[in-house]
Amino acid sequence: MESNPYSAPTADLSVANDDLISGNFQRFSAWWVFLLTFVTLGIYPVYWVYTRAQTVNRIQEDQIAPAWINLMAIGLVLSFVADFVFPEQGIVYLILYVTYLVTYVASLFKVKNRLNSLMSKSTGSNYELSPVMTFLFNSIYLQYKINEFIDNSQPQGEV
């Protein structure tokens, strides 16, 4: 008990919430992800995976190796550069592009698996993100599922 009866109460009245998704991920329209993918000529999905991987690494103990995520971004840059600098050396571009694709898809699935874990932990049940939909629709699907999770976790009056 405080000695000053006129001081403001210090009790923590916030509701305890184990929702790691809503507190750490921004709601961003999947349509914008779709549009930005085309406007940026395919660069935005790499940015999306890169930033979401950093967010996941910040809030979860099972982290995605930063070197792996950086390799994906560097692979994209090098494949673009190789296509313009060495247009006659198609094999150099092909090797760099395949390296980029493998690291991108693997990073995408690493983010998907970490999101699965976070969503399951937040709901207390087995939450499942489709690997087929992740492969086909990439970051658009994952952003849609993040938005859906955020919308479903908020009380009905706040949406």
In a domain, 18, yes or no: no
Count of domains observed in the chain:
1
pLDDT for residue 64: 93
Q: Give the tens place of pLDDT for each residue, 112-124.
A: 999 999 988 888 8
The stretches in the chain having pLDDT less than 50 are: 15-16
Burial 127-147 (b: 16+ CB within 10 A, else e): bebeeeebeebbbbbbbbbbb
Range of the domain at 100: 27-146
pLDDT for residue 86: 82
Residue whose pair of structure tokens reads 């090797």 in the numeric block: 95
In a domain, 135, yes or no: yes
In a domain, 102, yes or no: yes
pTM attached to this predicted model: 0.81
Q: Give the tens place of pLDDT for each residue, 126-139.
A: 888 999 999 999 99
In a domain, 10, yes or no: no
CB 131 within 8 A of CB 112: yes
In a domain, 42, yes or no: yes
In a domain, 90, yes or no: yes
In a domain, 120, yes or no: yes
pLDDT for residue 83: 83
CA distance linking residue 130 with residue 111, whole number of Å: 13
In a domain, 159, yes or no: no
